Amino acid sequence: MKYFSTYLVSSRFLPLIVAPATRGQQPEHGDPDAPLPGHFHQLLRWDTKTFPSQPRDIISLACPCSAPESPLVLEPYDFLFDTGVEAYYNGDWLSVILNMEKALKNKATVRKVKAQCRLSCANQTAFGDHVDGVGVPIPGAGSLEDLGFFQKILKRADCVNSCEMEKLGHPTMHQVTEEIQLEFNKRSPYNYLQVAYFKINKLDKAVAAANTFFQANPDHMEMRQNLEYYRMMAGVQEEDFKDLEARTHMAEFLLGKRYYSDDSFGLAAEHFEVAIDEFFTADKECKALCEGAYNYDGYNYMEYSADLFQTITDHYMQVLNCKQHCAVELALNTGKDKAFEDFLPSHFNYLQFSYYNSEKYEQAIECTKTFLLFHPNDEVMNQNLAYYSAVLGEDKAQTISAREVVKQYIHQSMLEKKLLYFGYEAFGITFVDPDTWTPEDVMPNKLREKQKAEKETAARITEEIGNLMKEIETLVEEKKKDSSDMTKIIATPESVPLLHDGIKVTMTAKLLNGSQRVLLDGVITEDECRELQHLSNAAAQKGDGYRGKLSPHSAGEMFQGVTVLKAVKLGQEGKVPLKSARLFFDLSEKVKKMLESYFGLDTPLYFAYTHLVCRSAIEEKQEDREDLSHPVHVDNCLLISEMNECIKEPPAYTHRDYSAILYLNNDFEGGDFIFTELDAKTVTAEVRPQCGRMVGFGAGKENPHGVRAVTKGQRCAVALWFTLDPAHEEKVWIISVDRGQDYKGIM
């Protein structure tokens, strides 16, 4: 941070801003240390006594078709934006603030009024209602029924038009160019505001504006630099770094995830519940705003000559496409290119586990059943439901239903999808389903077969390109690593602390067909292997580490484990030999040092979790078994094998950086360790466990791995996960170190 010191000598620092060059030259900078004008605080309150020529622009939204008490013309926000930009180049900071703040407020008002008018008019002129003189509510076999339907359309159009005219003025007043729309999408007004607020010494507002702009423009280096400077300035508080455009449903969802990651399940549930309520509010608004003007994209407006029903079809398909896209729109976090996958269902996934940890089984069952509306065949969630029902009581669990609002949401979405797929099949109007939970049979067979063929072709091309790239990468990697790998193998113990007596590098990353991988042999002796296996059978708990689940990964195996802390505690209580507990403790440290050395880490590793585990085949459950002992996964991200992706976000252990598995025996059948590609199918390397053998690897998406089924006997190993972040060091390990010091001298 010392290289910033020259900037801190003077408080006359001006944050950077990239403004449109066509607006003219920047004026000479004024003095940011000038005292606040006496009328500034009235400006912030929009005091009409101080600014008599500027209306407050407060618009009543109570009833969309009633005349307002005092009609006011809402100033177009594009005009206000242009006026603010001009004021910026004239150095008129108060005018910049006034116009930019009003532009933002008026744009939000236009959006709110349009959504509210359309929702209110939909309620007043629902198509399902009967029309006077017509016996049916929808078009039927004759022209009379059609007239009744179109009468409803005309009434809806009149209602919306009257509502918007009364609240906003003539529709053309608030039509803006794509250029202006882009400026607001990029949050450009906040770029100007942060400078203007800084110039009048309102640092809290300058910081909030800068941070709001940066959230949508995370690659904007000048703004990143500005925020770094602001953090070092006197008087700036952490709470000043707000996102003034944060959407409530997303902010609450992210807060819920944060509390969930900290195991604060009660608080997590509160925020997820608010996020769900806000999601449905935002979803209604988003879908209402889809009912706007037709976008003639791909057509010349003057040459568009579709007949009545084709015109209606084109526009309605566009509206439905827009409404389906709301699922993506609401799942996008500002500044991110990719939306959260399965966004709405994931709320109920987080909630069911949060309520389970809070021992609120009724709510856990409700959320589990709601999640299953989206993914009815989800194996884990069905197991959870069975468990929660058993705890609460089957009879009581039967009375609990999934949430009605979600049932309605899915029902409406499914109807929209069916219409869109019909339009796709009948008229060639493309529809790409944004949801992963849509049942396969919703898509017509012809389209399903066509898309399947296209996916297979794309997959084949991708595979061919991938194989070619892999060959190129292998050639490059071989040149880079041959010398360093050879050095590690032949170096003396003094230069490479990894190679203790008897330890050898059996396979490098190259031989294991990947990166950040190594296989070592001779890490511990046969006697030490037997001692640790005895410790596991004496101290381990069934289901340990997996909330008591006896078979957490496979119904064909029993799982048991013990942590370092538990072993040390039992050793001090005389229930297991202290020598065995100490061995467990010491070899964990030994593995850590070997990984640090082999992978050439500049910073130390910290224990994230350490587990002595055994998997035992259940004899009567081995017939026709085809599953894995531990399914293919990645240690620090959520593997989505169908998409060859791994998403680094909770509930994955995102802080894990390196992993190691030290094997204790080989007198069992099956149980080989495998590395795969991200598809979880293509095996790139296979390791047969044996006493003293250790596989170490990076915990990221470069190393998907799993364990083949143990079909006979018991397979034991020490599993270790490490982090480079001391904030995530395993609490129980810290305690174990303290206890280890207590008995170090008596062994």
Whether the CB-CB separation of 717 and 647 falls below 8 Å is answered with: no
CA–CA dist 551, 560 (Å, integer) = 9
Whether the CB-CB separation of 730 and 609 falls below 8 Å is answered with: yes
Report the run of H or E that residue 710 belongs to, with start and end: strand 710-712
Select the more confidently predicted residue: 135 or 441.
441
Q: What DSSP assignment string belongs to 450-508?
A: HHHHHHHHHHHHHHHHHHHHHHHHHHHHHHHHHHHHHHHHHS-TTT-TT--TT-EEEE-
Query: pLDDT-based confidence at 606, cuts 50/70/90?
Result: confident
Q: How many CA atoms lie within 13 A of 52 on its CB side?
A: 1
Cα–Cα distance list, 530 to 10, 368, 435, 583, 690 (Å): 69, 43, 51, 11, 12
Q: What are the residues whose beta carbons fall under 8 Å from the beta carbon of 354, sequence distance 6 or more?
A: 260, 265, 266, 268, 269, 272
DSSP lists the bridge partners of residue 607 as: 722
Mean pLDDT, residues 104-129: 86
pLDDT for position 539? 80
Statement: residue 740 has pLDDT above 80: no
The pLDDT tens digits of the residues spanning 53-97 come to 443 343 333 444 444 444 457 899 999 999 999 999 999 999 999
Statement: residue 592 has pLDDT above 50: yes
pLDDT for position 303? 56
Query: pLDDT-based confidence at 626, cuts 50/70/90?
Result: confident
Locate 421 and state its tokens.
């797929």
Mean pLDDT, residues 732-742: 45
DSSP lists the bridge partners of residue 653 as: none
DSSP helix/strand/coil, 517: strand
Q: How far is CA 655 from the centre of its chain?
A: 15
CA–CA dist 596, 459 (Å, integer) = 38
pLDDT for position 30? 36
Mean pLDDT, residues 7-19: 36
**Where exactly are the structural domains of the chain?**
104-240, 248-427, 504-742
Statement: residue 743 has pLDDT above 80: no
DSSP helix/strand/coil, 633: strand
Select the more confidently predicted residue: 670 or 746.
670
Q: How many CA atoms lie within 13 A of 445 on its CB side?
A: 0
DSSP lists the bridge partners of residue 669 as: 712
Q: What are the residues whose beta carbons fall under 8 Å from the beta carbon of 684, sequence distance 6 or more?
A: 512, 513, 514, 675, 676, 677
The pLDDT tens digits of the residues spanning 685-704 come to 999 999 999 999 999 999 99
Q: What are the residues whose beta carbons fall under 8 Å from the beta carbon of 172, sequence distance 6 or more?
A: none
Q: What are the residues whose beta carbons fall under 8 Å from the beta carbon of 561, sequence distance 6 or more?
A: 536, 540, 541, 544, 545, 611, 612, 613, 614
Q: What are the residues whose beta carbons fall under 8 Å from the beta carbon of 199, sequence distance 6 or more?
A: 14, 29, 30, 32, 93
Whether the CB-CB separation of 630 and 707 falls below 8 Å is answered with: yes
Query: pLDDT-based confidence at 536, cuts 50/70/90?
Result: confident
Statement: residue 194 has pLDDT above 60: yes
CA–CA dist 539, 550 (Å, integer) = 16
* Residue 660: other Cβ atoms inside 10 A: 25
Q: Token match 């077969």: residue? A: 449
Catalytic choice (187, 615, 693, 715)? 715
Statement: residue 581 has pLDDT above 80: yes
Q: Is 715 a catalytic residue?
A: yes
Q: What are the residues whose beta carbons fall under 8 Å from the beta carbon of 86, sequence distance 6 or more?
A: 23
Mean pLDDT, residues 124-152: 62
pLDDT for position 106? 95
Mean pLDDT, residues 449-474: 70
- Per-residue DSSP letter, 637: B
DSSP helix/strand/coil, 647: strand
Locate 42 and state its tokens.
């009235």
Statement: residue 293 has pLDDT above 50: yes
For 504-742, CATH number out of 3.20.20.140, 2.60.120.620, 2.30.40.10, 3.60.15.10 equals: 2.60.120.620
The pLDDT tens digits of the residues spanning 219-278 come to 888 898 899 999 999 889 999 999 999 999 999 999 999 999 999 999 999 999 999 999
> Is the previous residue joined to 434 through a cis bond, with omega within 30 degrees of 0?
no
Statement: residue 444 has pLDDT above 70: yes
Mean of all residue pLDDT scores within the chain: 80
Whether the CB-CB separation of 713 and 683 falls below 8 Å is answered with: no
Nearest Cα to Cα of residue 90 among 28, 15, 21: 28
pLDDT for position 100? 96
Statement: residue 520 has pLDDT above 50: yes
The pLDDT tens digits of the residues spanning 315-344 come to 999 999 999 999 999 999 988 878 899 999
Long-range contacts of 35-42 (CB under 8 A, 24+ apart): 35/201, 36/200, 36/201, 36/202, 37/94, 37/200, 40/94, 40/200, 40/202
Query: pLDDT-based confidence at 485, cuts 50/70/90?
Result: low
The vertex-653 CA angle with 637 and 349, nearest 5°, equals 80
Nearest Cα to Cα of residue 584 among 605, 601, 598, 570: 570
Question: Which of 3-12, 137-146, 604-613, 723-732 is modeled with the greatest confidence?
Answer: 604-613
pLDDT for position 550? 63
CA–CA dist 747, 737 (Å, integer) = 15
pLDDT for position 374? 96
For the whole model, what pTM was predicted?
0.55
pLDDT for position 353? 94
